[in-house]
Amino acid sequence: MTGAEDGLRDDQWERVKDLLPGGRKGKRGPRLQNRLFLDAILWFARSGGRWKDLPERFGQSDTIKRRYYRLVDRGVFDQILDRLAQDADLEWLMIDSTIVRAHHRAAGARLTKGGRLPRGWAGLAEA
């Protein structure tokens, strides 16, 4: 891990690291810290925060924002999602009722506006 509890695990990073441009060794070390950048983007996805709310451990928010929009234009994140979808780990997949839509009558709504209640509910309404 990179020090953040909500960052990428090592196995996750290995699957996508070659898709991010930059980050190669220069004379003074890596030019860009790709893993830290991706952790910053995940922080945004999880927190819903604004660019200026980015914690200092990720670097300057303006730099990350600029790089993010450049990579979106180049389709890098589409490639990352395609790669992750090829070998999806569905162990933690969960569907709950907050994303399943039902017809309003399934919840016992009146059949017509101002009309009678369904038969099973009519007795309860009288009581």
Q: What is the pLDDT of residues 39-57, one digit of tens each?
A: 999 998 888 889 999 999 9
> Would you say residue 73 lies in a domain?
yes
Long-range pairs for 87-93: beta carbons < 8 A, 24 or more residues apart: 87/15
On whether the pTM is more than 0.85, the answer is no
Q: How does pLDDT run across 71-126, given as a tens digit for each residue?
A: 999 999 999 888 877 777 777 666 666 666 666 666 666 666 666 655 665 555 56
Range of the domain at 17: 10-86
User: Is residue 97 a part of any domain in this protein?
Assistant: no
Q: Residue 12: name the closest of 92, 75, 109, 101 by CA.
A: 92
Decide if 103 is inside a domain. no
Residue 23: inside a domain, yes or no?
A: yes
- The whole-angstrom separation of Cα 65 and Cα 75 is 15
For residue 98, tell me if it sits in a domain: no
Number of domains in the chain: 1
Tell me, yes or no, whether 2 lies in a domain: no
Cβ atoms of 35 and 57 within 8 Å: the answer is no
Task: Kindly state whether residue 17 falls inside one of the protein's structural domains.
Answer: yes
Residue 116 in any domain: the answer is: no
